[in-house]
Amino acid sequence: MDNTYTTIKLSVQDNVATLTLNRPESRNALSLVMCQELIHACRALSQQTDVHVVLIDALGTSFCAGADLKERQTMTTADLVARRVEGFTAYAAIEALPMPVIAVVQGPAFGSGGEVMAACDFVLASTQACVKYPEVGWGTIGATQRLPRIVGRRMAKELLFTGRVVDAQEALALGLVNHVYAPEELQVKARAMAEAIAKCNPLTTRLTKRSIDQGLDTTREGALGVELLAIQENLKGSDWKTAIAKFGKTNA
């Protein structure tokens, strides 16, 4: 796996990949190079059958302070459009990963940071984490698709129109994050959860993720079809009889 990245770090241990945002001096602001490296890393990870879970975390005190505004100061309109497309492609690459992806948010996640969070399957956060969507206040548009699907239409409009800061506890209540931990516990809790998920049959977890994501985008009847096809694929690709026998002994 390519580890020649400059704005991210990528490592794999015990079937868990850790993708780390690595621009702490810029509060991990999302630059064009970071977008490109995220896309490359996610595409590489998607081909790794030995990777069962991906953790996305960040170095420094901020998870991601948003887009790199210094970089944008010298851009033309065409450059900026291309940069926005590259950002969208990076979020989509995270979202398209076939295995479970967990965001580990230790600090502020503003703008693009919120998009990275939303592209993950779920989020573990520190009490020092907070979220903000400043796009409207900057005179631009963003976070209009994933955010409403997480918090609902009305709350998404409030967060986007006001650009107010959402602390960790409110983020938990809104469903933006799944769990909140003390700063010193966050990495330990995230690693333990990732390792527990990684012990499950990787085919089953991938098919479960696919069934949820595809099922929510179709009708109830279509969703049942999605799950049935996943069940059939899982039965053909896994040793389900042994798994049932083990489960029976464990719960006897």
Please check whether residue 123 is in contact with residue 176, taking contact to mean a CB–CB distance below 8 angstroms.
yes
Q: Give the residue among 112, 103, 149 at the shortest CA–CA distance from 134.
A: 112
Looking at residue 251, what is its pLDDT? 55
- Sorted by where each begins, the domain ranges of the chain are 8-198, 202-250
CA atoms within 13 A on the CB side of 198: 22
What tokens were used for 22? 């690595």
* Angle, alpha carbons 58-90-158 (nearest 5°): 80
What's the one-letter identity of residue 218? T
Per-residue CA distances from 220 to 79, 211, 224 (Å):
42, 12, 6
DSSP structural state of residue 6: S
Looking at residue 249, what is its pLDDT? 62
Per-residue CA distances from 39 to 36, 52, 63, 156, 239 (Å):
5, 18, 18, 27, 33
CATH architecture type of domain 8-198? Alpha-Beta Complex (3.90)
Looking at residue 222, what is its pLDDT? 84
* R_g of the chain, CA atoms, integer Å: 19
Q: Give the residue among 130, 133, 125 at the shortest CA–CA distance from 177.
A: 125
- Its pTM surpasses 0.85: yes
Provide the pairing of β-strand 122-126 with 108-110.
Answer: unpaired
Q: Which residues of the chain have pLDDT under 70?
A: 1-3, 240-252
For tokens 């079809």, the residue is 225
- Dihedral (C-alpha) 231, 236, 238, 241: value to the nearest 10 degrees? 90
Looking at residue 248, what is its pLDDT? 56
In the chain, what is the straight-line distance between the N-terminal and C-terminal CA atoms, in Å? Answer: 43
Q: Give the residue among 143, 11, 2 at the shortest CA–CA distance from 64.
A: 143
Looking at residue 56, what is its pLDDT? 98
Per-residue CA distances from 167 to 64, 147, 156 (Å):
15, 16, 15
Please check whether residue 175 is in contact with residue 131, taking contact to mean a CB–CB distance below 8 angstroms.
no
b/e burial code for range 187-211 (CB count within 10 A of at least 16 → b) = beebbebbeebbeebbbbbbbbbbb
